Structure 1
């Protein structure tokens, strides 16, 4: 991977982690959970070549991150959750085919990132698995629009739109530093430096398909918010932008393939018509309940 590709790729890895963390309902009960150490991956230590490669990527990230003013595009998400279809999954396990589990939900929408520390994710349509046909093929039903989620952060506050309950929760986020990582790492992932990244994540390169690069990120601590074992980011070597990711949930195993896949399309960097006002001029829809939660 060239210097240019490394720097561009990592500058968008943290947008991907933002999406991976906010795709689920916010875990209110976990806000004040004390962090716990994660088990060190078996693939450590990296060999000299791998370590040098990762160090170079993180160094380029420090040089590049300030230059990425804006990024936006379309996002698709597929979740594979064995708990949603337990009978079907049990049959797949008997056949020793657990990884043939069909996706159990699908969502599509838009994302945006503004530097520093600004982000938006809005799902505009979704489907969930409904039943199985006689031939074993899954059937899906469209979800009402009020089931779709929306999140906006300006780095200091996070607005969580819960359309199903006609509610907006406004979170006042911890200041950048150790406390912010302990409670809610979403905003600071955009502007964090390479030293802090290495303090918080184990990183390694992985082999990928032709035309792609892959980086894996494993959190060093769990605090009730990190709902994943690892995130793998696949980078298009032509555009040097993430084209897809795979998030392995905390209960994932080779025989229990609970994961969420993301795909990114129509990506635009530093668009001169980028709408930065959406991160600060957040409107509460008429008739919606609004509550403020101070996480400092």
Structure 2
């Protein structure tokens, strides 16, 4: 399962890297260039996936959307890891008032449904790639915090931690040397599963008109624009962005589940 998930994700990475070169090299139409194209043109050799209501090439926008989705998701989960993991270690190791305040804050955020919280944050931050990544980042920080804090609380009572304290090791050195090494093994699994979820949430934000500006190719917003045309038989404007989103989520989910099975087998 790890192999198939990795294969799908790598294919998307290749598409994200190659598509700009194909578009600006003239091999694919530009994603926002549609004034001279017929609207709702059927898939053909000229437009492989047809055109949308503005005459824009659906294939170009779908392929370009791969890079946009990966960029936003990468920023979101990376920021969530770099915020949630240190806070989880600090809270689990230090305890006391800091722990209670952080737990209260993170549990409050965690109880709010992911899509609802991301909608509120996206509305407050505004539309844009960085703002969408920040909104998703805040949504996923509590998950890393909870997992890492619980693991830190279990590890900090080990004898080698007490021995390090006895030898005069500082708290920062213990957290960096011992705790981080022991709790970081669960992060790759959570990261890939969160990435899969983030693709769906980003698509949901785009569908609601709260994700990225319309001129940026994004699967959710393109599906929203295609919604009114589907009952009239224009199926291609919604099919290809939805299929691209589904396959990427499938690949990330397979990768996450495979990594979880792999780490579980190693522990046994």
For this structure pair, what is the TM-score category when the shorter chain's length is used for normalisation? under 0.3
User: Normalising by structure 2, what TM-score?
Assistant: 0.21
Q: Max radius of gyration: which structure?
A: 2
Higher strand content, 1 or 2: 1
Higher helix content, 1 or 2: 2
